[in-house]
Amino acid sequence: MRAGYDVLLVEDEAVVRAAVERILRPEGLTLDRVEDVDGALARLRRVAHRVVLSDLMLPGFSGFDLLERVTGERPRIPVILITGYATIENALAAFKKGAFDFLPKPFDVPELLGVVRRALKAVERRSWNAVPRETEVSGSKPCAERYFLGQHAWVTLHDGVATFGLAECWPGLIAEIRSLVLPEPGSRLTQGLACAELATADESIHRIWAPLSGSVLEVNPAVREDPDLLNRAPFSSGWLVRVAPADLETELDALTRRAGAALAPAGNGGEKEKR
């Protein structure tokens, strides 16, 4: 990676720009700041950036426009979209359009650090967009067919029960997991809102967005016991929760249907979930 900035921040709100800089700089991360999409594109042409962190609601072109340009021209740069809560639907659309993750405002330090570090690590390991999106992967180890929320989370459906797990954005990218907050059985999840939270040893917090709405039937006890399963077997025994979906018909539209990722370390996961 040639010299440049770690993060390109596109944000029209001065206080947020200043805050992000204040948080990232002590971490030894370099930050390039612009206020709108035109500025961002100009900077992207001139200087190298490892990660783009962009607000969705910007004057002129929106964060979506920037996302499309970046995924089209520089697919290996992860784009994290910062959204207000009011734009959950937009955030879901962002996943569909290829965003790495989204960060709802207001966020605190561990949350910002968590997502930025994860994206940087993905760049470092060259794992971002390593799998072709929305295409069949006909590898030697075919996995069960799944629905994906971007490369963030996956869903399988069996007998009206949905099983969630973590997708390509996670395995190996999160440092030692300190704690894992999982939903209680019976609680209600909303698509696009947090369904679980990970705290890692590097004082980061990572939130996992529910790929579907529904009420929680079961939480994987194995993951509760051994959270590192999320790193080791995210597509099989490392599943997170089982949910009774509330509104499959409309919510599946926000997801992408494709085969499991090639980087899935174990192929027996599919069989396990078929039982």
Partner 1 sequence: MKPRIARHVMLAVGLVSLAVFGTSAWLASRAHEIELAALVERQALILSDTIRNGTRQAMLLNEREMVHRIIEQIGRLQGLEKIRVYNKEGEVIYSPDATLVGTRVDQQSEACDGCHAAGASVAELSAGRRTRVFRDEAGDRHLGVITPIPNEPVCANSGCHAHAPEKRVLGVLDVTLSLADVDLAVSKGRRSALILAIAGIAAISLLLASLFHRWVGKPVRTLLGATERVAAGDLAHRVPVPRGDELGQLAASFNQMTTRLAEARNMVYQSNKLASVGRLAAGIAHEINNPLTGVLTYSSFLLKRAVDQETRSDLETIVHETKRCRDIVRGLLDFSRQVPPKKTMVDLNAIVERALAIVDNQLRVQNIQLTKTLAKDLPPFPADANQLQQVVLNLLVNAADAFEVGDRHIFIATDLKSVEGRQSIEIKVADNGTGIPEKNLGHIFEPFFTTKENRGTGLGLAVCWGIVTEHGGTIEVDTKVGRGTTFTVRLPIGAPSASVEPTT
Q: Which residues bind partner 1 (CB under 8 A)?
A: 13, 15-16, 18-20, 22-23, 26, 57, 84-88, 104-110, 112, 159-160, 184-188, 190, 193, 203, 213-215, 244, 246-247, 249
User: To the nearest whole angstrom, how small is the minimum distance from the Cβ of residue 115 to partner 1?
Assistant: 13
Contact 214, 244 (CB under 8 A): yes
What is the rounded CA–CA span in Å between residue 210 and residue 234?
A: 15
User: To the nearest whole angstrom, how small is the minimum distance from the Cβ of residue 85 to partner 1?
Assistant: 5
The residue (of 242 and 258) whose beta carbon lies closer to partner 1 is 242
User: To the nearest whole angstrom, how small is the minimum distance from the Cβ of residue 140 to partner 1?
Assistant: 34
The residue (of 4 and 110) whose beta carbon lies closer to partner 1 is 110
What is the rounded CA–CA span in Å between residue 192 and residue 152?
A: 11
Tell how strand 177-181 and strand 194-200 pair up.
antiparallel
The residue (of 73 and 108) whose beta carbon lies closer to partner 1 is 108
In the DSSP assignment, the letter for residue 184 is: P
Residue reference for tokens 């539209």 = 253
User: To the nearest whole angstrom, how small is the minimum distance from the Cβ of residue 171 to partner 1?
Assistant: 27
The residue (of 56 and 261) whose beta carbon lies closer to partner 1 is 56
Contact 231, 170 (CB under 8 A): yes
Contact 213, 188 (CB under 8 A): yes
